[in-house]
Structure 1
Amino acid sequence: MSSNEDPISPIRQAEQHFGIQFPPDYRHFLATQGSMSQFVLPADDYLMINEAAELVEVNEAGEFQERFPGSLVIGGDGSREMLTYDFRHDPPPLVLLDVSAQDWSSAIHQASSLTAFLEEFPQTGWKWDDPAP
C-alpha cells in the first residue's frame, strides 16, 4: 500500500483541514468517546459534542471560519448556541457563540479546557454571562 492510500484518522484529517492541533484532552475525548448528545444532570442542560468526522461540515455550514477567524465549533446546545474553541489563544479556551453572532464580542467564556468544561457542566450548565477573556 502506498503512503497515499494509508488511512488517516478523522481526527488527523480535521486537524489538517483546519491547520491546527487539537488540545490533548479534546483529542483523547474524540479518540475514546467520539461524541456525545444528551441532557446532563443535575444541570438539566443539553450538551452535544460532534464527532471528528462532522467538524468540517459543521464549521463550513455556519461560515464560522470567516466570521470568527481562529474558531473551531465542536458542539453546542442542540439549537443556536455553538461550543467553540478560540484558537486565537494558546491554549484555546472554550466559548459559546450564537449562530447569528457577527464577531468575537458575543463570545461567552465556558472553560479553559474540555476537561474543565466537562467537570463543571453537570453543576453549572451553560454559562450565559461570563464574557470571554
Structure 2
Amino acid sequence: MSSNDDQIAQAECHFGVRFPEDYRHFLATEGSMGRFVPPTDDFLMINPITELIKVNEAGDFQERFPRSVVIGGDGSREMLTYDFRQEPPSLVLLDVSAQDWSSAIHQATSFAALLEQFPETGWKWDDFEPSPS
C-alpha cells in the first residue's frame, strides 16, 4: 500500500466513510487541483488528502453537517462537499456560513460526473435541475 493509499484509508477511518472509487482514484493519481476551468472559467479546487481532516475540522462542518466531508470548493466561501447521508453520496455546494443541510446546492451525483460537466456548467448556484429536452 502506498503512502497515498494509507492517507486515504486514514481519512476514511476518521470520517467513518468509504470514498467513492472515482474520487479515490483521483486522490491516488492526481492528488489535488486548483485552477480556472475553461470555457466557464469558474475556479475549481480539490483539496489534497493531507488537508481533508484539517479543512473539515476548521469549519466545524461535522457538527453543522453530519455525515459530510468537504473535499474542495470555489477557492472562496463555497465548499464542495460529499453528502454521505445517502448512498451513493452526492456532491453539494455549501457556503462556509451555512448552518444546516437546507442550504446545500446539488452539484453532481459523482466526482466523475462533476469533472465531466464542470467545463460546461461551472458551479450551479441554485437547486433547479433542468429537465432533459
Please tell me whether the aligned partners of residues 82 and 96 of structure 1 are also in contact (alpha carbons under 8 angstroms). yes
| Residues paired across the two proteins, number | 127
Structure 1 ranges of 4+ moved more than 6 A: none
Equivalent in the alignment of 2:47:
50
Q: Which runs of 5+ in 2 are unaligned?
A: none
Kept in 2: contact 1:37–1:48 (CA 8 A): yes
Q: Out of 24, 27, 50, which is 1:30 matched to?
A: 27
Structure 1 segments unaligned to the other structure (5+ residues): 1-5
Contact 1:48/1:76 (<8 A) preserved: yes
What do residues 85-108 of structure 1 show as CA deviations (whole Å, max 9, x unaligned)? 000000000000000000000000
Match of 1:94 in 2: 91
Residue in structure 2 matched with residue 11 of structure 1 by the alignment: 8
Give 1:8 shift.
6.6
- The reply to whether residue 41 of structure 1 matches residue 50 of structure 2 is no
Alignment partner of 1:118 out of 115, 119, 122: 115
Using the aligned pairs only, state the percent identity: 72
Shift in CA distance, 131/59, structure 1 to aligned 2, threshold 3 Å = farther
* Change in CA separation of 1:82 and 1:7 when aligned onto 2, cut-off 3 Å: closer
Q: How much is the aligned-residue C-alpha RMSD, in angstroms?
A: 1.7
Counterpart-to-counterpart distance in 1, 2:99 and 2:16 = 23
| Counterpart for residue 3 of structure 1 | none
How many angstroms apart in 1 are the aligned matches of 2:29 and 2:61?
Answer: 26
**TM-score for both structures, normalised by structure 2:** 0.92
Q: Tell me: CA distance 1:22–1:35, structure 2 relative to 1, closer, same or farther (3 Å).
A: same
| CA distance in structure 1 between the partners assigned to 2:63 and 2:34 by the alignment | 27
